[in-house]
Amino acid sequence: MTDLTSLKTQFLEYIEIEKGRGVKTVENYDRYLTRFFTAAKVTSPSAITETMVREFRINLNRSPGTAGTMKKNTQNYHLIALRAFLKFLRKRDIASLNPERIELAKVGGRDLDLITADELNRLMNAPKGDTLTALRDRAMLELLFSTGLRVSELCNLNQDLDLSRDSFSVRGKGEKVRVVFLSASAKKAVADYLKKRGDFGEALFVSNGTIGKKKDHDKYVPRLTPRSVERIVKQYATHAGITRKVTPHVIRHSFATDLLENGADLRSVQALLGHSSITTTQVYTHVTDKHLLEVHKAFHGKRRE
């Protein structure tokens, strides 16, 4: 097969099965590649040229986005997908453009969405009472902060979580397995929630409104989706009087910065977050390096005193 549609299908199957990419990643790569093929009006891998890629980049840069034009990071996602596809073709000795000819757009340093320690405490204490919903939401917030889980990882958890242990394994991006740890408050919150829940549905976090609504309800309790968790976190942030945007990923940021501010080393935080590259973890250092502040205070400006 040498037509691009067939090769794209093979590539998407390859990254899903052999590379362990998630369904969402595969869907995104499919969309990015289709966009390039359509814009370039190309049907054969041997017909792909640098000129096509350059014109595609111009097209992306002029595409509308939330800030007027498409973000550089989003543009790069398209190019990363195309480069991965070209590498796939090269491995199979299919003639096409050299993937090394594709350079990514330069982007500025990543800005972190952070909340203060006081705001975090208000958020964690926002679920009030002992209703099933309040217990569920308290357990979710405690687990997010205790483990640094991604929202998709949280939603994939099941009721069989062993609360007699202080840790458990989670399968994250790229099917990579890592160990995360439970704080005492997280274990208690989850235990209180499960005790109140009383059904045998598989998922740990579910839509409470459906429990007991069907005769054979244990098979019908729906798992909460990442979007649902995002809405829940947003609602509690509003109730807690936090004006900035708060998402489950912001809590993950708080997990990482809390560890670093209290002396954890970067490699350990990388492992706890499940980052493939320490470069990804290094984004946190510029907001947590208290040592540099202490050095500045101790040694700067002494000749002027």
Q: Is the pLDDT of residue 185 over 70?
A: yes
Which pLDDT band, with edges at 50, 70 and 90, does 84 fall under?
Answer: very high
| pLDDT score for 217 | 46
Average pLDDT over residues 34-53: 93
Query: Distance (Å, rounded) from C-alpha 294 to C-alpha 296?
Result: 5
Q: Is the pLDDT of residue 55 over 90?
A: yes
| pLDDT score for 215 | 45
Regarding whether 74 and 146 lie in a shared domain, the answer is no
Regarding whether 277 and 128 lie in a shared domain, the answer is yes
| pLDDT score for 108 | 60
Q: Which residues of 153-167 are buried (b: 16+ CB within 10 A; e: fewer)?
A: bbbbbebeeeeeeee
pLDDT higher for 285 or 170? 170
pLDDT in tens, 205-258: 998 776 655 444 445 678 899 999 999 999 999 999 999 899 999 999 999 998
Regarding whether 183 and 44 lie in a shared domain, the answer is no
Which pLDDT band, with edges at 50, 70 and 90, does 110 fall under?
Answer: low
| pLDDT score for 288 | 61
Query: Distance (Å, rounded) from C-alpha 154 to C-alpha 131?
Result: 21
Instruction: Establish if 81 belongs to a structural domain.
Output: yes
pLDDT in tens, 112-166: 678 888 999 999 999 999 999 999 999 999 999 999 999 999 999 999 899 999 9
Regarding whether 210 and 83 lie in a shared domain, the answer is no
Instruction: Establish if 175 belongs to a structural domain.
Output: yes
Backbone angles phi, psi at 253, to 5 degrees: -60, -45
Whichever domain contains 212, its CATH number is 1.10.443.10
| Partners of residue 43 on adjacent β-strands | none
To the nearest whole number, what is the mean pLDDT of the chain? 87
Average pLDDT over residues 289-302: 70
Q: Which of 135, 159, 148 is nearest to 183 (CA)?
A: 148
Query: Distance (Å, rounded) from C-alpha 99 to C-alpha 88?
Result: 9
50, 66, 101 - which closes a domain: 101
Q: Is the pLDDT of residue 36 over 90?
A: yes
| pLDDT score for 216 | 47
| pLDDT score for 305 | 59
Helix (H) or strand (E) holding 95: none
**Cα-based distances in Å from 192 to 70, 97, 129, 169, 209:** 45, 58, 12, 21, 18
| pLDDT score for 213 | 52
**Which residues does the annotation mark as catalytic?**
150, 173, 249, 252, 275, 284
Q: Which amino acid is at 255?
A: F
44, 76, 101 - which closes a domain: 101
Helix (H) or strand (E) holding 242: none
Q: Is the pLDDT of residue 86 over 50?
A: yes
Asked if 61 and 70 touch (Cβ cutoff 8 Å), the reply is: yes
Regarding whether 85 and 61 lie in a shared domain, the answer is yes
3-state secondary structure of 263: coil
Q: Is the pLDDT of residue 1 over 70?
A: no
Instruction: Establish if 215 belongs to a structural domain.
Output: yes
Regarding whether 285 and 144 lie in a shared domain, the answer is yes
Query: Distance (Å, rounded) from C-alpha 202 to C-alpha 157?
Result: 9
How many CB atoms are closer than 10 A to CB 126? 20
Instruction: Establish if 303 belongs to a structural domain.
Output: no
Regarding whether 264 and 129 lie in a shared domain, the answer is yes
Q: By CB neighbour count within 10 A (0-12 exposed, 13-18 middle, 19+ buried), where does 244 fall?
A: exposed
Q: Two tokens at 89? A: 């073709």
What is the pTM assigned to this prediction? 0.68
Q: Is the pLDDT of residue 65 over 70?
A: no
Regarding whether 184 and 229 lie in a shared domain, the answer is yes
Q: Which amino acid is at 230?
A: E
Q: Which of 67, 115, 129 is nearest to 233 (CA)?
A: 115
Q: Which domain holds residue 167?
A: 117-291
Whichever domain contains 92, its CATH number is 1.10.150.130
Regarding whether 122 and 268 lie in a shared domain, the answer is yes
Asked if 15 and 25 touch (Cβ cutoff 8 Å), the reply is: yes
Q: Which amino acid is at 108?
A: G
